[in-house]
Amino acid sequence: MSEPTRNRSRATLAVVAALALAAGIAPARAETDRNTPSFNLYGSPGLVDMPTAEVLPDGTLSATVGNFGNTTRTTLNFQITPRLSAAFRYSAIRDFNHPRSKPANDPEGIYYDRSFDMRFQLLTESPSRPSIVIGLQDFIGTGAYGGEYIVATKTVAPGLKLTGGLGWGRLGSYNPVATTGTRPATVLGQGGIPTYDRWFRGDMGVFGGVSYAPNDRLNFKVEYSSDDYTRERARGAHVKSSPWNFGLDYRFRNGGQVSLYHVLGEEVGAQFTIVTNPKTQGIPGGIESAGLPVAPRAPGAAQDLGWTSDATRGTAAKASLTELAAKDGLIIEGVRLEPTRATVRLLNPRYGAVSQAIGRTARAMTRALPASIEEFVIVPVVDGMPMSAVVMRRSDLERLEHEAADEMLARTSIVDAYGRAPRPDPGTYPKFEWSIAPYLQLSVFDPDNPVRADSGVRASAKVEITPNLILSGSVTKKVGGNLDTVTRRDKSNLPRVRTDQSLYSSQGDPAIEYLQFALYGRPAPNLYSRVTVGYLEQMYGGASAELLWKPVGSRLALGAEVNYVQRREFDQLFGFQDMVTTDPVTGIQREIPNFNGHVSAYYDIGNGFHGQLDVGRYLAGDYGATVTLDREFANGWKVGAYATFTDASFEDFGEGSFDKGIRVTIPLSPFLGTPSRKDNAINIQSLSRDGGARLNVRGRLYDKVRDYHEPEAVKSWGRFWR
């Protein structure tokens, strides 16, 4: 096998593996029937190459890999709302005679292309009308796959659907029937920005087709394509002799799809699609033992205060509560007992659903604490910071144990815990933990080699000196990889704050990934703080300070972070270097500023959507803002995207024009089979550049804090009695 072929295979397999994990080969089964939408070669609802007006169920996440002839497309598609969907696609076209498709390490020539799509359903299908969808294909990118369309699909009999549409751009290139204005052919800037100057302009073509599913497994498709594959044919990548394409789908019970195609009158293709829906996965849990039942008090027992004058009974009650909680994987660090109130300091290292940890602690309290204690106050603590105080009445627990969890929620208060947490018991700190595990570090979407990776062994350790003073770090030893072989040393008009990564990879073996002290605090009601000092990440050390304002019952939070950084030596040991970088093309030196930081606003929009806005100065000294939008599910899944715009021009930024990406967070408990707070976050970044780069400091406050506040706790309250 030639080296270029090995590179293609490695790239394809790595991208497929990442997207398969993002799609979450989940244990839940998807409901399929004869009218289930199928996926086309673009990884979107469609026939063979053309779109349909079918819409996937709300929340559907799919990963598709398709190949025909010299083209391979890998697509991640997400149904954002019931009517709106988006897709990110990475394509490789072999034997594509294009200057950028023939790097020195691959003389065969492969053209790699990134593209984004959006689709919106204008009208839903009814007995008297079809579904109508409007779509933008490759609307952020080089425009290689650029096209727009309006398409209608109607189910005319069980399993039988008719589709017809109008297309522009690529979808208007074969046998156009009309022209609507002039469509520019040049790429805007460096690519990666909306191609708004050509939407629904130029030649307009007609496409259509029919699909028939005789049952819920098979689906036959035929289409008339309006895509002439003009560029690919002109550059020798494809041959076309017919506009008619044919396809056959086989659907699995879990919603996946395997397809075979005959396209362009000349070529055959195949496709595989993985489908899951975080919305229907259920709240994460596992095969855990049932929680303790509530222990009701005997009549009149609540009047007995004799234990308050017997210290041994109070000590025994605390010990019993600690032991019962430990059986559920919870840690009671301290208990304050009063005649009618008990306040518990709780650590939850196990349950992703905060309400489940609260509910199990409360039930243990009914079994361990003296009968006169009527009010329970549970204070979850993270890194020494009291997050909130969950206040409930013991009599409500006794009365409502077999009722819906919402009944208990209506009688529970979640308030600020400032000054309310008991002190940790003597001997609780310091704590020490460590681990040794493999690691994989990826660099993706370099046009000369789309996937590079290093792998090796990582040793990590953490010492909690006090509840809120933590020393942590990790060391890596590389076993193999090729991150140090990056040859694209482009001209940059910004300091090289990220594009020197290959130097850190080649010289940092072994490497100190990070080594830092972090001090967390609660300086005032509604306020949380963090100060971090040390080697903060792979490339920078220094100091970082953060302050977060977050009322316990509010959907809004405001934060500020300021960082003083110093560039680390490339060997990633204990040394630092000056803050001046040299452009490898021009030799021009540019200085990295020591100070950067942001002010941030976070807002829970509702219906599972969460927004974040960060405004400030980035590592390269550019000023701007990052906008992030996530859709979050009660079971811990998150799917979102971000974009950063700064005062660095598109030309200074380079290829991609601005920083942007997609992120998927997958809770691990469904795969582990036991409750867990661990998750796997996958970031699909268009291309790492110097503009819009932010310090990768660990331990930022917002995600630590929000989990235990009222808006988040309420979302998973259904697990309170689990």
* Token pair in block for residue 219: 């689906």
For the cut 90, the answer to whether the pLDDT of residue 7 exceeds it is no
Question: pLDDT grade, residue 281 (50/70/90)?
Answer: confident
Give the tens place of pLDDT for each residue, 171-215.
Answer: 999 999 999 988 887 655 455 677 788 899 999 999 999 999 999
Give the tens place of pLDDT for each residue, 49-69.
Answer: 999 999 999 999 999 999 999
For the cut 80, the answer to whether the pLDDT of residue 450 exceeds it is no
Instruction: Report helix, strand or coil for 45.
Output: strand
Give the tens place of pLDDT for each residue, 655-700.
Answer: 666 788 888 888 887 777 778 888 888 787 766 788 899 999 999 9
* Token pair in block for residue 430: 């310091």
This prediction has a pTM of: 0.89
The Cα 72–Cα 91 span in angstroms is 6
**Which helix (H) or strand (E) segment is 701 a member of?**
helix 701-706
User: What pLDDT is attached to residue 29?
Assistant: 44
To the nearest 10°, report the CA torsion of 169, 171, 176, 179.
Answer: -40
Give the tens place of pLDDT for each residue, 413-445.
Answer: 999 999 999 999 999 999 999 999 998 877 766
Higher model confidence: residue 480 or residue 152? 152
The Cα 699–Cα 470 span in angstroms is 11
Q: Within 245-336, where are the H helices? A: 311-327
Average of per-residue pLDDT values in the chain = 88
The predicted model gives 496-511 an average pLDDT of 88
User: What pLDDT is attached to residue 191?
Assistant: 57
Type of residue numbered 408: M
Q: Of 415, 349, 427, 326, which Cα lies nearest the Cα of 378? A: 415
Q: What is the DSSP string of 233-254?
A: HHTTS-----SEEEEEEEE-TT
The predicted model gives 210-228 an average pLDDT of 96
Handedness of CA 220, 226, 231, 233 (dihedral sign): positive
| Domains observed in the chain | 3-280 (2.40.160.40), 301-427 (3.30.300), 442-466+468-702 (no CATH)
* Token pair in block for residue 383: 């890194």
CB 479 within 8 A of CB 457: yes
Largest CA distance in the chain: 95
User: What pLDDT is attached to residue 650?
Assistant: 72
Give the tens place of pLDDT for each residue, 302-330.
Answer: 888 889 888 899 999 999 999 999 999 99
For 159-163, 291-295, 483-487, which range has the lowest pLDDT when averaged over its residues? Answer: 483-487
* Token pair in block for residue 716: 């998973």
The predicted model gives 632-648 an average pLDDT of 89
The Cα 378–Cα 576 span in angstroms is 45
Q: Angle at CA 314, nearest 5°, toward 311 and 318?
A: 140
CB 97 within 8 A of CB 236: yes
To the nearest 10°, report the CA torsion of 574, 577, 583, 586.
Answer: -140
For the cut 90, the answer to whether the pLDDT of residue 279 exceeds it is no
Distances (CA, A) of 120 to 55, 116, 192, 543: 9, 14, 21, 45
